[in-house]
A and B are shown apart, each in its own frame.
Chain A
Amino acid sequence: MKPDDDDKALSQAYAALEHPLPPPALDSAILAAARSAVQDGAKVIPFPARPRRNWGVPLGLAATVMLALGISLQLRDSEETRLDEPMLAAEMSAPVAAPAAPSADAAVSSKDEMKLESASTAAATPPQPEEPVTSSAPAARHRLAQPRQAAPAETRPAMEAGLMESAEQAAPAALAAPESAREAESPAGDAMSRQDKRSLPALAPAAPAPQAMPAPAPAAAKPAAGRSQEQTAPALRKMLESMPPPATKPDATPERWITSIRQLLEVGKEDEARRQARLLQQRWPDHPLPKELRYLLEDASQP
């Protein structure tokens, strides 16, 4: 392999170079490891630790665990939300004995929040007979008279629309609200009122009930309400008569109430108009009725 003198000279030149030797400490370490291996019978001598490799596995495991936890928490939250929807729908279709209108702290600006608040208030507040409640809203009474039933098979937006409409219809139904509801006249409530106006232009009780919500509107369901009143036990009917009206919406102003009374008269529902006028007088005693409507109170006061 070294055919000529040049190759030999090159080999000699290379051999003449400085050839470093391992440091003595390294020699000692290697020889000690070799001796201990045969003396202790150790099968494998570990190599010098490599911090990067040692940290890689724990960090990878930690990252995996954190990722799995995050995903599971998100999935659990979404499951809870989905589970709450049927309950909300059931509560929406259940008879509502408690005041359905939001309380003072329920004056929220979000439409969805208002729906949830209304539904949760209805679900969490059982009927309290000891409180003097006088409700004349046919829809509310109809729902009270009906047994608890499952939610209809309509879609959720439809049910929400129905809830919104029924709540809105209950407001002009001259439901006497407690003082707390009266104090709830706030900008937030006004904002909610504007939103309701946009979404529910038909404020009058004569507005047709939404198809998705079989709960009867006051006007359209008057015969049904009458039937339900007849089917209701006299004691329960009496109790309902004595019950104070549910808390009205903060935006149930006397002017709007009067407007709804006029609309009732226009469609020929004078009885309902009388009742609304009487409730308006109870709710707003300081607000006089227009002259053309005062006869409703006079006639209503006669037995």
Chain B
Amino acid sequence: MEGYHPSVDSAGGESGIPLHSPAMQPAHDDTALMLAYAGGEAVAFERLYALHKAGLYGFLHRQSPRTAWVDDVFQETWLAVVNARHDYRPTASFRTWLFGIARNKLIDRIRLKEPALLGDFLNEDDEDPLARVAADSRQEPASRLAGKQAGQALDTALRALPAVQREVFLLREQADMSLEDIAALTGVPMETAKSRLRYAVAKLKATLAGVS
């Protein structure tokens, strides 16, 4: 059992953790923290929670079809981490494991509460002619976009994305996961994950270009 790594503390306190904290907190540090928590060190869990709560909560906030479910799914995810601390094996990154739990909890909730929406979250058909057209079209650089109006348009366009495409985009942007990890988490081939991300990015860029 690995012990608690003092280097984790150098990443800063809870308030200083940026949105993309994984860049500053290597995956092996997450694994060490989780193993330390399984060994009985509660402070290790507090560090893990501080590192990933914003990314996980943001992912659930935008991926969940109902805002009222976010808190419940978020809490269930972390309690599942607590209950599974003795069974945790560092075969994958902690972040992938954590977001995988959250994704499964969300799908379970959808299956229980609104099964009609489940197809959108498990849809394997990614062919979307509109997205392809948007991807092929040359829009103005998104860097020109600024201001509150662009943010609202982006948020609306993000929610309008198909669930599987939005999921890949959020895992990429919110959790800074690699395509390989995203493919493993969602259970699809990497090419499929890559295609979904490409469609999502194309649609969002088209939306932002329209706003500008």
Residues on A lying within 8 angstroms of B by beta carbon are 1, 5-23, 26-27, 29-31, 33-35, 37-39, 43-45, 47-48
Contact = CB atoms under 8 A, between A and B. Distances in A.
A284 to B, nearest CB: 84
Contacts, number: 102
Given A17-B155, A18-B151, 20 more contacts: A5-B141, A5-B143, A10-B208, A13-B142, A15-B173, A16-B151, A19-B54, A19-B58, A21-B57, A30-B49, A31-B45, A33-B79, A33-B82, A34-B45, A34-B49, A34-B78, A35-B42, A37-B85, A45-B82, A48-B76
B57 A20 contact: yes
A9 B28 CA distance: 30
Interface residues of B, number: 45
A39 B20 CA distance: 31
A18 B152 CA distance: 10
Nearest to A14: B173
B205 interface: yes
A274 to B, nearest CB: 91
Contacts of A18: 151
Contacts of A27: 49, 53
B163 interface: no
Secondary structure class of chain B's binding surface, majority of residues: helix
A74 B212 CA distance: 77
Interface of B: 19-20, 37, 40-42, 45-46, 49, 53-54, 57-58, 61, 71-72, 74-76, 78-79, 82-83, 85-86, 139, 141-145, 150-151, 154-155, 158, 172-173, 178-179, 197, 201, 204-205, 208
B154 A14 contact: yes
Given A13-B154, A33-B82, A20 B40 contact: no
Residue of A1, A18, A30, A33 contacting most chain B CB atoms (<10 Å): A30
B83 A44 contact: yes
A39 to B, nearest CB: 7
A13 B144 CA distance: 10
A19 B49 contact: no
A15 B86 CA distance: 35
A7 B45 contact: no
Contacts of A14: 154, 158, 173
Contacts of A5: 141, 143
Contacts of A21: 53-54, 57
Nearest to B56: A22
A22 B53 contact: yes
Given A10-B208, A19-B58, A22-B53, A48 B141 contact: no
